[in-house]
Structure 1
């Protein structure tokens, strides 16, 4: 019954620490991330990552991005696609160069340094989504730009990873043509199914005489899109986000949103936040403190500046551009997955894996307060106009 004990601790402590950080003027998600580090192997060791944590966390992040899709203004998203693409490009080029340079400066060989660039080109906006929701800015121009950029970033980084593994990985031949074809197929099928099939599917199945048919079918759509995304080599959260957008265009949007949020935020999303902190361990990093500090600074600044430049050249003012750049800083679970893949393909040295994980966690912890700072500045400027 250890999983009951784990769940008890996670639900209780995430709410308490989330409340404490809001009292300190920081986003509640920061407290939820920190409690994962405190109760995990890094400090008290009350909870260790296991299959239960992994599966609940996967469901949590999928539901979080599904809700983000439900709440996204599709017209606003269409209007910001140019900015989203520019932000994604800027947020890949600078981190790639910065990650490579930092690794090279600490003596890693050419292949390892290239892979380090790929790891820190990744973006995970699941944490940013929670902060944007808390700030009521998810549907702002900046918020939709961040969401759009995350989709583009995911596609480009996965392709970049495939190129690396094809040419440099150990026994990991990957067909680049097949990879790109799968991405194209994913978007074509997702658009067709989301636009034509999902609304009819929901209308037909709402009539069946069982408990909560609409919510159940919405979850079926969410998990089907997430699973399809995974099959096509995309992050499952991109599929969940697309599912949310498709249902947001139906008459069921408000019903689904009002009933999915309690399910997600009461049990699954807190486990996801804690699971990130559970990856932190300080064993064997005594000689790599300098490397971690430099890599973290480079990871934060290159994403911030790269994303901000992309937003700036597409017409945003400086404050809005920095707000967008700050929303791209968190590497989260996406970078952790890429780092694990690189470890298996011998593109990342074993002795540096823990340092990379800690750096990824640090970017995830740094992102929420920076987001709040820059979005507060944009709100202040708008209020003074």
Structure 2
């Protein structure tokens, strides 16, 4: 019987928490802190913490949940944002370090299987590490961000496929043609079965649960746990490893069992349970298997693996990226960003150690390789992106475009018509007469509730870059902006705030990272009336020096009867006038009076 030592579990979790906080404070992912504190407090150094069978079981469940969460976070539609360039970066960033890792192990008299495991480990990249760094460096709207994310997804998926093949080969225990055919047949059968269940059974399950009104988060989480463990067991029965099964389960869970909001809630629970509880146990206890003796006995191999990982990733990405036509400098920058390793590499290395394919020394080398390469990412990526900026080669890439406007009232229609001259604009309103009026004016409009996901989905909210809430109710505006961000990830949110607000509304805008329309509290009713009765005048004022929209409003505050609605740049492009905008020299403000 396996008994759980609560004190030991408490100490491991406390160590993971402290290590994770320290790593985050200095700008690195939690996993590095968890590994380092496991090395420090484990047998390798101080020997304060120790592993146990119960901890190992929790750690194994932790990596299954973590891989499911990684699968749930992957959206294959994102790969299209960088398609060819992302594919080139992924292949170059995987194949070259894979080959270097493989042949380095063979050069030091290692087995071919060990070489394959090391090759996979140095070939993968860390999606989570890159996501955090891209946010910190404000690079999410650049082409390199999409290439990096696409490259990470492709390389990690490729690593898992190769890993599955190796596990199947080890399970077969022979190299004869019949044995290999049996391994391949079971793997193919598993993938066919998993894909069929994901594409055909999961959507039916979602509809049945919705029809039976079984949509509670606790119940759905329990169902998803069963799905993840079931897929993992199917993978094991097929001679593959459970992590591939949980990863596949996560991929298909994302694609359509539940509504977007329910999926977001359940994904959040998976995140908390895996990353907040179970996975840290795996990474801390992984540190227990590290030996510091490699710095004396295998220093040359350690250095070569680390150098091969760094040089192979950066050089491979740079060379393979050349056919994209975006230049070697951008390829080099992407290579520095893809250099970090993370969860997948440590999980694969841990399984290799557990199965006896790699030694404790090689496992230790891979852990230090993961730590050292990840430490280089923020430094190298900051330097290379600044280099591109100075050369004017840091390309912005708008994956989204167009406006979604809540409120087909006269003011909303007036602004929509002007924005629609250059971008797609879709309006949402719960008043059929206003929707019909929008159509009469040649605008696209959706009849629906601005607080419901189905209206946003019908308006293709996932493709929109900016959401503008222009109803006369500030609370509805704020709630709809929250929905636009939480469920549809619309990056720019602009909200009309009524003068009757007591200040809470503006505070909520800051919390939601949204902006106030017209850079001031505005009463919708009188302006809608003026527009509907044509009792207004449109004017334009050119700006000679840079000024914020808020200061422009203050400067013109003596003229209370004006409403700045748009900013017009030198090329004739119009954009909404709101609190977080800056008006540059030679741009103009379009306002009503």
Q: Please indicate the TM-score interval, normalised by the length of the shorter structure.
A: 0.7 to 0.9
1:96/1:74 CA distance change after superposition, 3 Å: closer
Instruction: Tell me the residue number matched to 1:199.
Output: 203
Unaligned runs of 5+ in 2: 396-593
TM-score of the superposition, structure 1-length normalised? 0.79
Instruction: Tell me the residue number matched to 1:18.
Output: 20
* Secondary structure at 2:126 match in 1: helix
1:83/1:120 CA distance change after superposition, 3 Å: farther
Question: In 1, distance between residues paired with 2:356 and 2:148?
Answer: 32
1:237/1:209 CA distance change after superposition, 3 Å: closer
Question: In 1, distance between residues paired with 2:61 and 2:148?
Answer: 27
My pick for the range that moved more, 214-223 or 152-161, is 152-161
The number of equivalent residue pairs is 370
Instruction: Tell me the residue number matched to 1:320.
Output: 334
Instruction: Tell me the residue number matched to 2:45.
Output: 43
- Cα drift, residue 256 of structure 1: 1.1
1:132/1:101 CA distance change after superposition, 3 Å: closer
1:143/1:291 CA distance change after superposition, 3 Å: same
- Cα drift, residue 356 of structure 1: 0.6
- Cα drift, residue 334 of structure 1: 0.9
* Secondary structure at 2:120 match in 1: coil
Structure 1 residues 99-137: Cα deviation after superposition (integer angstroms, max 9, x where no partner): 45434554x2xxx35344312211389982442453467
* Secondary structure at 2:121 match in 1: coil
* Secondary structure at 2:44 match in 1: coil
**Greater share of strand residues, 1 or 2?**
2
2:374 paired with 1:368: yes
Instruction: Tell me the residue number matched to 1:302.
Output: 312
Structure-to-structure mapping, 1:119-198, within 5 angstroms: 119-123=117-121, 128-135=126-133, 140-159=146-165, 175-198=179-202
Structure 1 residues 185-230: Cα deviation after superposition (integer angstroms, max 9, x where no partner): 2332222211221122234346459882111112222222222233
Question: In 1, distance between residues paired with 2:38 and 2:303?
Answer: 21
**CA RMSD, Structure 1 to Structure 2 (Å):** 3.7
Question: In 2, distance between residues paired with 1:118 and 1:296?
Answer: 16
Q: Is the 8 A contact 1:36 1:273 kept in 2?
A: yes
1:102/1:179 CA distance change after superposition, 3 Å: same
Instruction: Tell me the residue number matched to 2:57.
Output: 55
- Cα drift, residue 243 of structure 1: 1.9
Instruction: Tell me the residue number matched to 2:351.
Output: 337
Unaligned runs of 5+ in 1: none
- Cα drift, residue 361 of structure 1: 0.9
Question: In 2, distance between residues paired with 1:177 and 1:256?
Answer: 39
2:302 paired with 1:292: yes
Instruction: Tell me the residue number matched to 2:364.
Output: 358
- Cα drift, residue 257 of structure 1: 1.6
- Cα drift, residue 313 of structure 1: 4.5
Instruction: Tell me the residue number matched to 1:31.
Output: 33
Higher relative contact order (CA 8 A, sep 6+): 1
Question: In 1, distance between residues paired with 2:29 and 2:85?
Answer: 26
Structure 1 residues 303-352: Cα deviation after superposition (integer angstroms, max 9, x where no partner): 45445544554566322243234458973121332355454xxxx6xxxx
Q: Is the 8 A contact 2:169 2:183 kept in 1?
A: no
- Cα drift, residue 374 of structure 1: 5.1
**Greater share of helix residues, 1 or 2?**
1
Question: In 2, distance between residues paired with 1:212 and 1:175?
Answer: 44
Question: In 2, distance between residues paired with 1:58 and 1:238?
Answer: 13
Q: Is the 8 A contact 1:155 1:234 kept in 2?
A: no
- Cα drift, residue 165 of structure 1: 8.9
